[in-house]
Amino acid sequence: MALKIRLARGGSKKRPFYRIVVAEATSPRDGLFVERVGSYNPVLAADHKERIILNADRIKYWLSVGAQPTDRVAKFLGNAGLAPKPAHKNNPNQAAPKKKAQERMKAEADAAEAAKEAAKAAKEAEKAAAAAPVPEPVTEEAVAEA
């Protein structure tokens, strides 16, 4: 008999309320359970005292007889000091762009850099042209003297 300490959903649509229950691993999520050992109300503020209610004595008993908490319940128990905190299941590379997207971003960055260099070169050429001496316009008097 494999027991789990898990959440059973209650409440109405878009207003969840969870019971923390000890249940057979094969029973349905909201189905038959052995014992209710707490509740979780995600609608309340994170610092509200009634957001997570745990019956510590019963949870310790069920953990001692081999009940396994689910990930979410293990986090609650770790924060309450009833069980060791679970290791973070964090994969920072999961959201990184994939290979094709990285190639596309590199090509866009190279194109932007090339455009920046071209603009810089055009600006330098414009400065050089402005700094070059301007020839004096040829007047009729200069033509007559020659």
- Percent of the chain exceeding pLDDT 70 equals 92
Size of the chain in residues: 146
Question: Can you give the pTM of this predicted structure?
Answer: 0.61
Q: Where does the pLDDT of residue 118 fall: very low under 50, low under 70, confident under 90, or very high at 90 and above? A: very high
The residues facing 102 across adjacent strands are none
In a domain, 135, yes or no: no
Question: Residue 118's domain spans which residues?
Answer: 92-124
Q: The tokens 């014992």 sit on which residue? A: 35
- Section 40-44 average pLDDT: 95
Claim to verify: residue 67 and residue 108 sit in the same structural domain: no
pLDDT value of residue 127: 82
Q: Of residues 140 and 18, which shows the higher confidence score?
A: 18
Domain count, the chain: 2
The residue type found at 131 is: A
Distance CA 8, CA 129 (A): 78
- Strand 3-12 and strand 68-69: the pairing is parallel
Q: Where does the pLDDT of residue 85 fall: very low under 50, low under 70, confident under 90, or very high at 90 and above? A: confident
pLDDT value of residue 56: 93
Q: Could you give the C-alpha distances from 70 to 8, 23, 47, 104, in angstroms and in order? A: 12, 11, 22, 41
Record the tokens describing residue 142, joined without a space: 């200069």
CATH code, domain carrying 62: 3.30.1320.10
pLDDT value of residue 92: 78
Q: Which residues of 3-13 are buried (b: 16+ CB within 10 A; e: fewer)?
A: bbbbbbeeeee
- Section 14-30 average pLDDT: 93
